[in-house]
Amino acid sequence: MSNYGYLLLVEDEPVVQANNKKILERRGYVIRQAFTLAEARAVMAEKPPDAIILDIQLPDGCGLEFLNELRKKSKIPVMMLTAMGTPQDIIKGLETGGDDYLTKPYELTVFLMRVQALLRRAAIMPEALGIGNIRIDVASGKAYIDGADMNLQQKEVALLQQFIQQPEKMLPPEFLYEKVWGQKMMSGDENALKVAISKLRAKMTDSEYTIIASRGEGYCFERV
């Protein structure tokens, strides 16, 4: 299970689902998808998530009805994600039991920050990840060595997160690429991974850890 949390996305628009899933998985979340309320109920019965991102207008009913059902038996954090954005809509969503309310269209970075804040309030997600003298501020996406900003790019931070969560373990290139780029690695894609890891390693000269490459196996985050 991810250190970040297990999320259920209840959304009937395929493009919205795909984009939200992609950005969240890049940050280490475990994602389940539901395109209808029936699918959402099935996921809930199988394994309740840490939080739910819930649309209101769904093919087989109203998300608010689902939320009302949920609140009778659970305090799982819920963020409403919908095109219904009048003040009355927002008030109704929050009064029904929503913990947050975001209207479409929205910026994916704003969506990510709102999800992180939702889980922090629910004490699901740590505010920071760290190992040795390395620390990542999860909310800002910044990484530090002994308090000094490493000045990492987004994909470098995402790679570092994967390594911190699984130190001393050989991670295959395919695994890292899929986690950071949000898609399966195809022919020629490994070069992009190699470049990103090379840049990350170069910024870790003052770290207590380094990244070891093993031909044909992958990469391992090891103590120097």
Q: Give the CATH number of the domain where residue 165 resides.
A: 1.10.10.10
pLDDT for the residue 125: 56
What residue has token string 């870790």? 204
pLDDT, position 2: 46
Last residue of a domain, one of 71, 102, 121: 121
Same-domain pairing of 33 and 95: yes
End position of a domain, from candidates 75, 99, 121: 121
| Tokens of residue 216, six digits | 């044909």
Domain assignment of residue 164, yes or no: yes
Q: Is the pTM of this model over 0.75?
A: no
106-124 per-position pLDDT tens digit: 998 889 888 988 887 766 5
Q: What is the predicted pLDDT for the residue at 119?
A: 82
Q: What's the mean per-residue pLDDT of the chain?
A: 90
pLDDT in tens, 185-209: 888 889 999 999 999 999 999 999 9
Q: Average pLDDT for residues 89-104, to the nearest whole number? A: 93
Q: What is the mean pLDDT of residues 176-186?
A: 85
| Domain contains 146 | no
Distance CA 137, CA 132 (A): 15
| Listed residue (62, 61, 49) closest to 92, CA to CA | 62
- pLDDT > 90 in the chain, percent: 65
Q: Whole-angstrom Cα distance, residue 95 to residue 139? A: 27
CA distance 3 to 207: 22
Do both 72 and 26 map to the same domain? yes
